[in-house]
Amino acid sequence: KRLNREMKGKFGSADYAEEELVAGLGSAFLMADLGVYGEVQHESYIASWLKALKNDKRYIFKAASAAAKAHSYLIGNL
């Protein structure tokens, strides 16, 4: 069963930045589980993430929850 996440927003939009946060957190979870090391390149999204966090204190928790679901799905289907 896929997660069927709605992919919305164009490159540079707040929605796109949110999906990048979910993807970044999810990849960090997977890398930690698999013992993989890599370079993080999220500088271009930090301002968007900080702005969103100021507007919604639960923003990081929502993104982490979505990332955890994706992580669980991927680990369960490897």
| Statement: the pTM of the whole predicted model exceeds 0.85 | no
pLDDT tens per residue across all 78 residues of the chain: 567 777 777 887 878 888 888 888 998 899 899 898 887 777 777 888 898 899 999 999 999 999 999 999 988 887
Cβ proximity of 18 and 52 under 8 Å: yes
Please give the span between the terminal C-alpha atoms of the chain, in angstroms, as a whole number.
Answer: 13
